[in-house]
Amino acid sequence: MRNRERIVSAAREMFVESGADAPLDEIARRAGVGNATLYRHFPDRTALAHEVVVSVMARITHSAERAAAEEADTFDAVRRFAHEAADERFGALCPMLSGTFDHDEPGIAAARGRLEGAVQGLFRRAQAAGRLRADVAVGDLLVALSQLTRPLPGTACPDNDQFVHRHLQLLLDGLEAPGRSPLPGTPATLEGLRRHDR
């Protein structure tokens, strides 16, 4: 693995474990490189955080695309994607997206667009097949994934796979059609989430 990839991988692990303020010298140590090598690739924490977020979004997008291509049952594709996305622990990275992080930066916007398109494709196929409730939207799943994989205040990121995947499966059972009861409110669309974040 090249130095840049090792740094990004180590930074993702450290950000998940310790938050966005994880020491850069510890990230370099975990990546097996010197501080100078880290700074040669990433001049500051913001540049490194940007690359980590783009990398995680690309991995989650790839999971959605693989699930769509390889699963015959459309809801199984949604289920597989959700569990693989949970393994990325992207909820722990959400605090890095607040504050001065530029949501409209071209790299971030492009990665987000690919991810949203891939997950919307999974939802559309499953809803068209009658396997996913019609009264839910992509945002409902993404918000839940974010919350399940985000550490509670004063705690580390949940590293208990059984905890995360058990509660995720409970959620997925509620998304599968037919729904057992009407849902209050309206579906959480991507557009609505973006309006809320602004």
Encode pLDDT of 106-126 as tens digits. Answer: 888 899 899 999 999 999 999
Let me know whether 36 and 96 are in one domain: no
Mean pLDDT taken over the chain: 86
Residue with tokens 């208990």: 160
Q: How far apart are CA 131 and CA 151, in angstroms?
A: 31
Neighbours of 136 (CB within 10 A): 19
Q: Which residue range is the domain that position 38 belongs to?
A: 1-43
pTM above 0.95, yes or no: no
- Per-residue confidence at 90, pLDDT binned at 50, 70, 90? confident
Let me know whether 144 and 99 are in one domain: yes
Q: How far apart are CA 72 and CA 31, in angstroms?
A: 39
Let me know whether 25 and 83 are in one domain: no
pLDDT at position 44 is 92
Neighbours of 186 (CB within 10 A): 10
Let me know whether 88 and 38 are in one domain: no
Let me know whether 95 and 171 are in one domain: yes
Let me know whether 104 and 177 are in one domain: yes
Neighbours of 197 (CB within 10 A): 9
Contacts of 71 (CB under 8 A, 6+ apart): 77, 80
Let me know whether 18 and 92 are in one domain: no
Token duo for residue 122? 């999974």
Q: Map 45-108 to HEC letters.
A: HHHHHHHHHHHHHHHHHHHHHHHHHHCCCHHHHHHHHHHHHHHCCHHHHHHHHCCCCCCCCHHH
Q: How far apart are CA 40 and CA 4, in angstroms?
A: 9
Percentage of the chain exceeding pLDDT 70? 87
pLDDT at position 35 is 93
Q: Flag whether pLDDT at 85 surpasses 90.
A: yes
HSE (side-chain half, CA atoms, 13 Å) at 5:
2
- Per-residue confidence at 102, pLDDT binned at 50, 70, 90? low
Encode pLDDT of 133-148 as tens digits. Answer: 999 999 999 888 888 8
In the chain, how many domains are there?
2
